[in-house]
Amino acid sequence: MFDQLAINSNTYHGYSLEDAVKGASEAGFTKIEIAAVRDHTSHVSPRMSAEELSKVKTMLTNYDMTCIGISGHTNVMTEEGIDHLLENIDLTVDFDCKYIVTGTGDSHGDTDVIDDLSVLAKRLEPVLEKCEKLDKILVIETHGNNFGTGKSLMKLAQTLNDRVKINYDPGNVIMYGNELPYEDLEASVEYVEFVHLKDKLGAYNEWNFPAIGEGEMDFPKLFQTLEQANYKGPISVEIEFTPSGPKDLKEVNQAVKKSFDYLSVLLI
């Protein structure tokens, strides 16, 4: 699974996309999931000009980096969120990648309550139609107030169609699902087609996501489940630190390098 590794550019929240590409490349990564999250980490945007997008693609080529997905999180419970997500799907065409990633509520401070899955399914209809037309996969992240576990997202995916899969984030399952991810991943792995690989420290509800290998996550156990399921999708490393964030770019690069080195040994 080593060749499935990527870096989520949200790891470089507050820094430029070139900072992310350069730092990840120097650490050893060759694949990247690019964040296009408006008002948070917007490393690319569907509102960029053709010239601006071309410069980004040239930069990726110069660093031998391939885009494997667009992190296009929006609140799909709002009309504006659906519109933003539809625009972000266009970026998967621009960067020739298969996956568009989202949650279902606000990226932070999600308070939406979804009691009826059919309401969400109805909202997602234009998104799924566009994914079908463009041959893209919508992967919904274990995240937020309603879908903090793989099992809950599996129920949603089962009400939709094959264009919808799970983006499994084990750190978020602890943070938002209030449970350890091991049995949950086993129960839902059939629907997992994208992984945000996060470590976790501290109490379940504590925002503390250090470099991979420096937390309390049992990664060998997670990878055993993925391997047994013949998982072939991206494994996108995401480091979100603590609420105070990293002190500087050097700290981010060091955490990215530590994560790559740890996974290089684990996934031999």
pLDDT at 98 over 80: yes
| Measured distance CA(80)–CA(89) in Å, rounded | 14
Task: Say what the pLDDT of residue 116 is.
Answer: 74
Q: Which residues contact 113 (CB under 8 A, 6 or more apart)?
A: 145, 146
Q: Which amino acid is at 176?
A: Y
Tokens of 78: 């709002």
Ordered by start, the domain boundaries in the chain are: 2-230
| Measured distance CA(92)–CA(159) in Å, rounded | 24
Task: Domain 2-230: give its CATH superfamily.
Answer: Divalent-metal-dependent TIM barrel enzymes (3.20.20.150)
Phi/psi at 104 (5° precision):
-115, -20
What SS3 class is residue 51? helix
| Measured distance CA(110)–CA(145) in Å, rounded | 6
| Measured distance CA(97)–CA(236) in Å, rounded | 14
Residues 202-256: tens digit of each pLDDT:
999 999 999 999 999 999 999 999 999 999 999 999 999 999 999 999 999 999 9
What SS3 class is residue 253? helix
| Measured distance CA(103)–CA(97) in Å, rounded | 19
Report pTM: 0.95
Residues 134-175: tens digit of each pLDDT:
999 999 999 877 789 999 999 999 999 999 999 999 999 999
| Measured distance CA(30)–CA(82) in Å, rounded | 31
Tokens of 211: 């470099």
| Measured distance CA(6)–CA(34) in Å, rounded | 10
